[in-house]
Amino acid sequence: MALHVPSAVSASRRRGGYILAATGAILFSMKAILVKLAYGQGSVPQADAITLLALRMAFSLPFYAVVGIMGLRAHTARGLPLPSGRLAIETVLVGFLGYYLSSYLDFAGLQYLSAQLERLILMTYPVFVALLGAAFFGARLTLCGLAALFVAYSGIVFIFAEGATAKGGNVALGAFLVFCASFTYALYQLIARPLVAAIGTRLFTSIAMLAACAGVMLHYAATNSLNQLVQASPRVLGLSAVMAIASTVLPSFMISAALERVGAQAVSMIGTVSPVATIVMAMAFLDEPFTAADAAGTALVIAGIGLFTYQDARRH
């Protein structure tokens, strides 16, 4: 009697990918809360976008350097060839796109938007993943997948339509910046998967994030004095350290591993859980309200994620 071990292993691998994608999305969603806390509530921000991003990357850099060295040693120990120059350059460029440019646009937009509105706009990236994937990367759009996308995004819109209001005169600018961040992050996810498959999760994530760190530091050095980083307030330094570990290092490896297991469209769709996490954290740390409309929208988001996960699992 034949044993269907490969199918069982494949199913288990995909379930692990779903868990990694959801956990990574929730940890990434903490970023908006931490950034808003670091900006402060007064008329004069305690830090600006590039300063916070530079501190985030400075605290992250040692982790990625260590993991990168471990990945290189593991490659050589198994007798595997090191990534070619072309693969390394492509990974550097992808990291620059996904973790420097996208992150900077997002941080800049958060200066003008509430955490909830920022998360809503940023979560439009699955639309770009699905459309760009179908147009240029050979991905297949299914009717069930589109229905799941509609249900989930209906829930997100429903959540934010009533209570998530943006204040200030630069809301349009903030929305535009975060919208651009969602587009560049979608490109990152689509381009990253074959590179992750070619060189492995640890090496890919380390090279990509080290490239992003370099880009951020060059940006900061061109616009500010590096001495100002160490002169940041203890509050800003502490929040940046938490942001680096809990909302950068850990989820970046989780998302890269999830991309390898389930693909960009599944990761992007499951990532719609992050607005729900943002609501909970915004209530707890930013004193934002939670209404009946938020509860109904949350149910729609969860339904959309469940529908997509079921449909995606049946295809494999």
What average pLDDT does the chain have? 81
Q: Where do the structural domains in the chain lie, given as residue ranges?
A: 16-140+165-263
Query: What does the pLDDT look like over 74-110, one tens digit per residue?
Result: 778 887 777 788 899 999 999 999 889 999 999 999 8
SS3 for 65-105, per residue? Answer: HHHHHHHHHHHHHCCCCCCCHHHHHHHHHHHHHHHHHHHHH
**CA–CA separation, 209 and 104 (whole Å):** 14
pTM given for the model:
0.79
Q: How does residue 2 score in pLDDT terms, banded at 50, 70 and 90? A: very low
3 has a pLDDT exceeding 50: no
Alpha helices in 137-170 (DSSP H): 143-163
SS3 for 260-293, per residue? Answer: HHHCHHHHHHHHHHHHHHHHHHHHHHHCCCCCHH
**CA–CA separation, 241 and 6 (whole Å):** 41
Q: How does residue 299 score in pLDDT terms, banded at 50, 70 and 90? A: confident
45 has a pLDDT exceeding 50: yes
pLDDT value of residue 4? 44
Among residues 218, 193, 226, 206, the alpha carbon closest in space to that of 101 is found at 218
Residue 34, number of CB atoms within 10 A of its CB: 23
Burial class (CB in 10 A: 0-12, 13-18, 19+), 87: middle
Query: What does the pLDDT look like over 204-214, one tens digit per residue?
Result: 888 888 899 89
Among residues 19, 309, 23, 272, the alpha carbon closest in space to that of 126 is found at 272
Burial class (CB in 10 A: 0-12, 13-18, 19+), 310: exposed
Query: What does the pLDDT look like over 105-132, one tens digit per residue?
Result: 999 998 888 887 788 778 777 777 777 8
DSSP state of 42: S
Q: Which residues of 216-229 are buried (b: 16+ CB within 10 A; e: fewer)?
A: bbebbeeeeeeeeb
Q: What one-letter code names the amino acid at 150?
A: F
pLDDT value of residue 125? 76
**CA–CA separation, 130 and 135 (whole Å):** 9
